[in-house]
Structure 1
């Protein structure tokens, strides 16, 4: 069984106000080409198909055209799930008229997580599609008031999916989650609405699955074991992704459930990158670039209208800072981190700030006792 795994398209997204419509068109064309060349049996898009709950008509049309193109010959099975950026009801509605023997489209949570069953020469493969859902939705769906975090939600989904697995099948799971140990990017939105809540889920929840197709995190990566994997987003959505290669994952599932994986590169038409130097040096460049640019000026003094002047060469320059300011910010951050190594001083300063009087000796004694107890507990742990 061959599966193409992708996720986090975020159709309709902008990059610091710059439209990414042409960038998405180029990526979608590459996905269509990969499907034509590699002939997968199933395509999994593991959530965040759109960037907003109310996507634009252009984004909806772009995705509809893609689905129409890749399913025209009736051979490709489609598995779609809603991510935290998607409107669950809208994604679910996409599956109303789908051929249920060849498509599984999951938007809202459901107590009966029934898989899509696909047969190859080695037998049956069951694909369970687990859409993203917040804790409050899961409590209502599963009638369980004890659900308090994303791990609880996913545990209920997995338990339901297991109940509907035929005996002896190879099992593939599509999910939208933050698995413990994975690397993040700045463009991802938290998966819990609880202040200070834990949004990660343990990889152990997926025990028994032969491949886990994950969405949410934008960097292609395996988590713990090779068969639990993020395909990553096809485009960079933050400057922290500069230089990161983008790809889809092609999965070949053998008769015994073992998998062989290949990363199919995706090449954006514009890169996300930073340029650095004095304004005069950057303006003297022999040619400009249409890339999405962050400018770091090394001039010691402020320059006159630098962004307007730079955009003559770099029309998609979207962010500008001075290196001296960046250094000052980094120094302040380092000083703040260092101050945390002196908890008594931090507490004393806080008390003085709040009530405008110094901390008393009696209060100092209480702080000393609390710090000592904490230190002893940390050493014991």
Structure 2
């Protein structure tokens, strides 16, 4: 049995305002080709198909086009679970239609928990795999509120609820396994959660799943009957509790510049005669990201080097020099003019330190509004008071335009 485990596609996600649809399309095209080349029989998508619960029409077209193309390959079954970014209603809306094409979608906890245990059959109609398709477990789905419970009680009840949910699906799967003609019928499970000991990268967009509490699921919460556990939510590929068959595949695309140097992968899982082996398949880089940090001389030298490669690069620039450079953005724009480099983010640490040093003790970056920071920058650069109202008005219009962007108008 050849299984492919992937998760956290986040179709529709932007990077500092830059649309990434070309990257998502390239990844999905590559994924279809990889499924065919490796003769994959089952595809597991462990949540966060989309980046938001209201994905654009373009994001949805990419998703359904992918499902259409996979249906014509050797892949017999697709299992998709909802993640914390997904809308369960949107994912499950075409569920009955997709099931006709052997695409099984579990967007949220099912009213009948038996519906989360899916028995897949081979071409001759015989059972070949049991999948405990557990989606992202929301607080309201697994925990009841009790009067007088404190934070520790809440955390303990959440963890117990998650463990109990996995025990229930495992018991159902084992009962099916015992009734099957094949005593070696494998069981795999999915999940979208934060496992204890898991790591994330600063700026990668991974957030705690339960507001007001830090609930990290211990590896002992998962039943031992699972031949493989396919997890989503963390964006770096990693093991859970050093267990080689409890794995996060990670996101296929870097979610931030902090992940620019990290290799991305999907996981091929081979189960044969009760033995499970896992092979990492490296995902190609579809858009190069680069972060440059230093003084102006170093930054310009690095940009010159990148230009000579004649490769399209999205760039983050972090200025850490001691000199205050008021026209940093214009200087960098001149440096990349006519090249294949796009600067998506400029962080002027020296300027920010200067702004903060001029604040009174009552003002910190956490307490200052966006307008206050902008006004401090105007003061720092000695902008004439007569010009400040118009600039502040333009700033407000820009912020409003960003907030009012129609995410469905693609």
* TM-score of the pair, normalised by structure 2: 0.72
Shift of 1:119: 4.4
Write the mapping of 1:34-53 to structure 2, written as runs, cut at 5 A. 34-53=34-53
Write the mapping of 1:115-134 to structure 2, written as runs, cut at 5 A. 115-119=117-121, 124-134=128-138
Give the direction of change, closer, same or farther, for the CA distance of 1:29–1:266 in structure 2 (3 Å limit): same
Shift of 1:155: 2.1
- Give the equivalent residue in structure 2 for 1:318: 345
Write the mapping of 1:337-356 to structure 2, written as runs, cut at 5 A. none
User: Which residue of the other structure, out of 230, 238, 255, is the alignment partner of 1:213?
Assistant: 230
Give the direction of change, closer, same or farther, for the CA distance of 1:132–1:153 in structure 2 (3 Å limit): farther
Which consecutive aligned stretches of 4+ in structure 1 deviate over 6 angstroms post-superposition?
323-326
User: Which residue of the other structure, out of 292, 296, 300, is the alignment partner of 1:279?
Assistant: 296
Measure, in 2, the Cα distance between the counterparts of 1:39 and 1:152.
Answer: 39
Write the mapping of 1:104-119 to structure 2, written as runs, cut at 5 A. 104-110=104-110, 111-114=112-115, 115-119=117-121
User: Which residue of the other structure, out of 160, 163, 166, is the alignment partner of 1:158?
Assistant: 166
Shift of 1:150: 4.6
Is the partner of 1:109 in helix, strand or coil?
A: coil
Contact 2:237 / 2:249 at 8 angstroms: preserved in 1?
yes
Measure, in 2, the Cα distance between the counterparts of 1:30 and 1:162.
Answer: 34
Shift of 1:240: 2.6
Shift of 1:324: 9.1
Write the mapping of 1:19-30 to structure 2, written as runs, cut at 5 A. 19-30=19-30
Shift of 1:128: 1.0
The more displaced of 279-288 and 313-322 is 279-288
Does residue 254 in structure 1 map to residue 258 in structure 2? no
Contact 1:276 / 1:298 at 8 angstroms: preserved in 2?
yes
* Alpha-carbon displacement from aligned partner over 1:161-190 (angstroms, at most 9, x marks no partner): 123211143110011011111111232021
The more displaced of 39-48 and 128-137 is 128-137
* Alpha-carbon displacement from aligned partner over 1:132-177 (angstroms, at most 9, x marks no partner): 132113347xxxx997555234223213312321114311001101
Contact 1:134 / 1:153 at 8 angstroms: preserved in 2?
no
Does residue 174 in structure 1 map to residue 190 in structure 2? yes
The more displaced of 112-121 and 76-85 is 112-121
User: Which residue of the other structure, out of 204, 227, 234, is the alignment partner of 2:252?
Assistant: 234
Measure, in 2, the Cα distance between the counterparts of 1:147 and 1:128.
Answer: 26
For structure 2, which runs of at least 5 residues remain unmatched after alignment?
357-410
Give the direction of change, closer, same or farther, for the CA distance of 1:60–1:280 in structure 2 (3 Å limit): same
- Give the equivalent residue in structure 2 for 1:244: 262
Shift of 1:56: 0.5
Write the mapping of 1:77-156 to structure 2, written as runs, cut at 5 A. 77-99=77-99, 102-110=102-110, 111-114=112-115, 115-119=117-121, 124-139=128-143, 150-156=158-164
Measure, in 1, the Cα distance between the counterparts of 2:94 and 2:132.
Answer: 17
User: Which residue of the other structure, out of 309, 313, 317, is the alignment partner of 1:295?
Assistant: 317
Is the partner of 2:290 in helix, strand or coil?
A: strand
Shift of 1:74: 7.1
Measure, in 1, the Cα distance between the counterparts of 2:43 and 2:98.
Answer: 14
Measure, in 1, the Cα distance between the counterparts of 2:62 and 2:187.
Answer: 31
- Give the equivalent residue in structure 1 for 2:215: 199
Shift of 1:287: 4.8
Give the direction of change, closer, same or farther, for the CA distance of 1:274–1:2 in structure 2 (3 Å limit): same
Shift of 1:92: 1.8
* Alpha-carbon displacement from aligned partner over 1:335-354 (angstroms, at most 9, x marks no partner): xxxxxxxxxxxxxxxxxxxx
* TM-score of the pair, normalised by structure 1: 0.77
For structure 1, which runs of at least 5 residues remain unmatched after alignment?
330-381
- Give the number of equivalent residue pairs: 322
